[in-house]
Amino acid sequence: MDYSLEEYLEMLEDLIDKGKTNPFSKRVSIDKRRILEILEDMRLNLPDELRQAQRITDDRDKIIDDAKNKAASIIREGESQAQEMLSEHVLSKQAEAHARAIVDEAKRMARNIRISAFEYVDDMLAVTSDSMRDALMSFTSHFRAVEDDVAKSLDIIYENRQELMNSKG
């Protein structure tokens, strides 16, 4: 079953919280096999979040292309209207002014659409980037905590064995 990165981190925290406390220390014995399974699942599922970021990038390109097409359509429509108006001899001067206004408005609208599309995509990429950065930082700190706990447990085991060896003699 696929979990989110946060859910995997919670699973690691639960394993640590539910681990057996070693007597006379703050060390905890944990299920190494289960932790390694969770870490492997996290590695396998991390590309899903990267694919999601790629989809957002692809959406950005689509939005920009749509904005360009709409701008081109608006410009073509404005030019078409301008041609129709110019064909009428009596209104030719008014038609030229009106056509220029339509083209200018179309260009302004196209520019605004393009700017809005870039801002939207940038915002979405920033949110995705922040989420991924936060997840990575959280994962890293939790992984370091697990690594520290395992190292401390190994130290305690070593010390206990040394005490046993010394008490034999």
pLDDT tens column, 32-58: 898 898 888 887 777 666 677 778 888
User: What is the pTM for the complete model shown?
Assistant: 0.36
On whether the CB atoms of residues 79 and 104 are closer than 8 A, the answer is: no
pLDDT tens column, 92-119: 788 888 999 999 999 999 999 999 999 9
CA distance 43 to 36: 11
The SS3 call for residue 3 is coil
| In the predicted structure, residue 156 carries a pLDDT above the cut 90 | yes
Domain range annotation of the chain: 5-168
The SS3 call for residue 21 is strand
Q: What is the 3-state secondary structure (H, E, C) of 22-59?
A: CCCCCCEECCHHHHHHHHHHHHHHHHHHHHHHHHHHHH
What local confidence, expressed as pLDDT, does residue 105 receive? 94
Is residue 160 classed exposed, middle or buried when 0-12, 13-18 and 19+ CB atoms within 10 A define those classes?
A: middle
